[in-house]
Structure 1
């Protein structure tokens, strides 16, 4: 009997360690979540990435850029990130996940305004059950650009919701959140101390959950370790909006300035950095190339010729 219990304990610990992402593992990736309207179409393309575009992007990634975040912005009249996928979309994502051997796919959900924790918990749990059934292991919760999400009342409900999800859902892991205050410039008293105070309620959630932040501004000209707020026992991921332009007349051709190499290496306060993609994806291949070089401290390789070859 003791032998059986020991085996069960080993299995449980092994499964838990496989699910959880170590604090010393860098999380460097891409975020797909910024879409254009039909009025900004390029060659007739707009809205979401196609499955083929997404699969090609994921296939170009490897252990250096190792996470792909699918975090679409809800439409104003349609909270579609919380809706269950139909049979075709489920099959499509199952195929994408099965082929992403070197990349972890993370889905971003947008709970929006929380009326009651129980109602939000039930809707999220249904969605997570579906995601886990096709092999998705990780998710994040996104409150960026959500009206009212930064109030004390809403952040308290967010904290309670997160605590409930961590306790009750164990087959898929919550690895991060994008808080309403994800940039220092969103705080009237724009200091790191004031920013930390705004996040203090959310800092009560389990310590392994990362906070996604952009730094001093939503589209920062520089990103350094010192740009993050000081919170005890909390790791951050830099949410780099450098190329997330919102018009077909804007194409970011220069390289992002002043990215501290330390933001790509997991340490006590930072887990890594994720690049928010522009649309359509062929416009950002050169920036994905540059991200790979920055992660590996090969800044001298960042040139137009080498990027063109990539």
Structure 2
């Protein structure tokens, strides 16, 4: 069950929180089961891990809330269909009053995960108020150590620390960043740290953009397309992603792409990620991406097959012309209104 350090962890992460004012066709917060299943079924060629780690709100910490019978059944169905993809659940313990209290709460959720066939989980303290204090990081460390000892039927493969980018600390070096999270480096070395690099939304990701820590692998958390507006679409390709970030090494374990909402608007970016994982950069072009995008939309009944040729052409032109607002796309290509109308 354990993922060896030599095996890359490359995937996509449903971790973006979508507000009610930016709803699309009445939907917000997180993906529907249908959207999630569609995405998972489309993953291939080295894109092998689907992370579910949406943000909590102060009044609704839903990642820690126990599932009801319908939620458990839905996840069991999703897991059963994900034959080529490992689903990784993210939990947000938030502020820890006592290790024992948080330990019991997390263990209850882990029991549900194991029952539906989920083998891996991560703990997330990104964007959690107070999580970066010395006292809280010591409690996080102790909670992680207790979980590793107490729970053996599901594996903790990573954490997102409160300081997940270098820009969040006053120091300007990776050594200062590493010192800021050194308490957490006392947990077992098999647990990976998720970091975005030098900024929260990095324009560049290099293998050198990680904290200076020994005996630790890092996974890059790529926030490039996680836009927070229903009127925005990211058509351009992420610049400056070093090819080695998708491979396993002593310090790198892979990369995950943080998704935007709704997912049908960013299939070209998932396509580009697959090509980068496989070091096929020449395949990252508007025509190939448009064909892949069109196939996804047709397979999931957004369009009928008799529109495939025009659909491919319109998607290609939208990419080529870098139309990055839904209004501009719909005005120029009315056929695309089915996926770009809010």
TM-score over 0.5 for the alignment?
yes
**Contact persistence 2:126–2:164 (CA under 8 A):** yes
8 Å CA contact 1:63–1:103 kept in 2: the answer is: no
Contact 1:33–1:277 (CA under 8 A) maintained in structure 2: yes
CA displacement 1:91-124 (0-9 Å, x = unmatched): 0000000010000000000000000000000000
User: 1:122 matched to which residue of 2?
Assistant: 104
**Partner of residue 62, structure 2:** 80
- Under a length normalisation based on structure 1, what TM-score does the superposition of the two structures give? 0.93
Instruction: Give the Cα–Cα distance (whole angstroms) in 2 for the partners of residues 98 and 136 of structure 1.
Output: 10
**Deviation of residue 63 (structure 1)?**
4.6
Note if contact 2:220-2:254 (Cα within 8 Å) is conserved in structure 1. Answer: yes
Equivalent position of 1:288 in the other structure: 270
Do the aligned residues in 2 keep the contact of 1:263 with 1:272 (CA within 8 Å)?
yes
How far 1:249 moved relative to its partner?
1.9
Residue 240 of structure 1 contacts residue 276 of structure 1 at CA under 8 Å; is this kept in 2?
yes
CA contact (8 A) 1:117 1:160 kept: yes
- Alignment partner of 1:142 is 2:115: no
SS in 1 for 2:63: helix
Q: Specify every segment of 5 or more residues in structure 1 that has no aligned partner in the other structure, as ranges.
A: 1-18
Instruction: Note the aligned Cα RMSD (angstroms).
Output: 0.8
Deviation at 1:288, TM superposition (A): 0.3
Normalised TM-score (structure 2): 0.84
Residue 194 of structure 2 aligns to a residue whose secondary structure is strand
2:164 paired with 1:182: yes
| Structure 2: gaps (5+ residues) | 293-342
Task: Look up the match of 1:38.
Answer: 20
Partner residue in 1 for 2:93: 111
- Native 8 Å contact 1:36 1:46 kept in 2: yes
CA distance in 2, matches of 1:35, 1:280: 11
Q: What secondary structure sits across from 1:112 in the alignment?
A: coil
**Aligned residue number for residue 30 of structure 2:** 48
- Report 1:256-271 matches (<5 A): 256-271=238-253
Residues 13-36 of structure 1 show CA distances to partners (whole Å, capped at 9, x for unaligned) of xxxxxx110000000000002132
Matched, 1:214 2:188: no
